[in-house]
Amino acid sequence: MTPVLTQIEVQEKLSVQDLIAERDLTRGDIELIFSLAERVKRSPGAYARALQGKQLAMIFEKPSLRTRVTFEVGMTSMGGYAVYLDHAKPRLGERECIKDIARNLDRWVHGIVARTFSHESVLELAENASIPVINGLTDLLHPCQALADFFTLEEKFGRLKGLRVAFVGDGNNVCNSLMMLAAKLGVSLRVATPAGFEPKPEMVEDAQACATGTGALIQFFRDPVEAVEGAQAVYTDVWASMGQEYAAHLRAQVFAPFQVTENLMKAAGREAVFMHCLPAHRGQEVTDAVIDSPRSIVYDQAENRLHVQKAILLLLLQDNHS
């Protein structure tokens, strides 16, 4: 007899209706996402029909491998469906206003993932849609990435509180998200950037204010060697993010001393892992020897995008009966 799949009802709820910025999440929200992601990862079959009949619109102004595939596979593996909307050209808001896009999607689908240049575009979608909106990366933040990254660190080290992570490179969207989530989770983050490429002061202030309650230290360095001292993880990202390609040549010169090499990894803690959100520009921010080494956990991070986002989809979409 064919076994009957039991649909698992997720009873828990997040304190938010949208997932746009780490600052909106409570400690309980983050713990809930992680514990559900762990269950989904362990028993994916149990959730095979959990999002039956649910549709997700995925708006992308920028390219993507991981975010697109993990959201689409995440939806279909739970019985749902995802519609990809290529908004590289025209960008969001150019053919019709964002408010109207949100109000249309509201009538057809149960959730929206959006990857945009401007962070305000995602906020505007959320303001005008009654369905959940998930930030799939903006110029300011990449919350799904940071959640998957800390989930991965917890898997590797069995704890988060008290860990020390070094971020070496550009004070960009990924750095902003890591700073805020580290602050909330009691993880110390040591950021090394060239002068003029630090994260925005308001993002730093926000993260530092949040860190006072958890004991995390959010610190800044010019010297990557100093930043990685005693770190359990060394994290880097591209030197020119999507939309900054015009400045890639200049940035490559400024950031050259911030390349993650085997020598830099030696300066970190003995058990230190290497992390990268990917895509990587091998030979620039990281050498082949580091990213291909046993210390590298970049593909674990990428895998966990799937499990963590499935948890987010379950928590935001399962009870949304629109």
Active site residues: 115, 142, 145, 237, 277, 305
Q: Minimum CB separation from ligand NVA for residue 67, in Å?
A: 7
Backbone angles phi, psi at 232, to 5 degrees: -85, -15
Among 51, 237, 272, 296, binds ligand NVA (CB under 6 A): 237
Whole-angstrom distance, CA of residue 218 vs CA of residue 189: 5
DSSP state of 60: E
Among 135, 152, 172, 284, binds ligand NVA (CB under 6 A): 172
**Only segment of 15-23, 50-58, 60-68, 313-321 that touches ligand CP (CB under 6 A):** 60-68
Whole-angstrom distance, CA of residue 28 vs CA of residue 15: 8
Residue 159 in tokens = 């704890």
The half-sphere exposure of 63 on its side-chain side, counting CA atoms within 13 A, is 7
Whole-angstrom distance, CA of residue 13 vs CA of residue 289: 43
Question: Is 64 near ligand CP (CB under 6 A)?
Answer: yes
Whole-angstrom distance, CA of residue 299 vs CA of residue 279: 11
Question: Is 273 near ligand CP (CB under 6 A)?
Answer: no
Whole-angstrom distance, CA of residue 266 vs CA of residue 251: 25
| Strand partners of residue 234 | 166, 274
Question: Is 309 near ligand CP (CB under 6 A)?
Answer: no
Among 92, 112, 168, 238, binds ligand NVA (CB under 6 A): 238
Task: Considering the complex, state which of residue 188 and residue 241 has its C-beta at the smaller distance from ligand NVA.
Answer: 241
Task: Considering the complex, state which of residue 149 and residue 237 has its C-beta at the smaller distance from ligand NVA.
Answer: 237
**Only segment of 24-32, 64-72, 83-91, 192-200 that touches ligand CP (CB under 6 A):** 64-72
Whole-angstrom distance, CA of residue 204 vs CA of residue 106: 35
∠ CA 69-9-19, nearest 5°, is 50
Cis peptide before 90 (omega within 30 of 0): yes
**Only segment of 88-96, 221-229, 277-285, 309-317 that touches ligand CP (CB under 6 A):** 277-285
Among 58, 211, 277, 290, binds ligand CP (CB under 6 A): 277
Enumerate residues 6+ apart whose C-beta is below 8 A from 319. 10, 13
**Only segment of 70-78, 127-135, 170-178, 296-304 that touches ligand NVA (CB under 6 A):** 170-178
Q: Cβ distance 136 to 71 under 8 Å?
A: yes
Tell me the site size for ligand NVA, rule CB under 6 A: 9
Q: Minimum CB separation from ligand NVA for residue 321, in Å?
A: 33
Q: Which helix (H) or strand (E) holds 5?
A: none
Task: Considering the complex, state which of residue 22 and residue 50 has its C-beta at the smaller distance from ligand CP.
Answer: 22
Question: Is 114 near ligand CP (CB under 6 A)?
Answer: no
Whole-angstrom distance, CA of residue 175 vs CA of residue 168: 9
241, interface contact from ligand NVA, ligand CP, none, CB < 5-8 Å by kind: ligand NVA
Residue 88 in tokens = 């590289």
Write each residue from 117 to 156 as x if it is in contact with ligand NVA (CB under 6 A), else as -, in one continuous string.
--------------------x-------------------
- Note the residues at the interface with ligand NVA (CB under 6 A): 137, 172-174, 237-238, 241-242, 277
- Note the residues at the interface with ligand CP (CB under 6 A): 64-67, 137, 145, 277-279
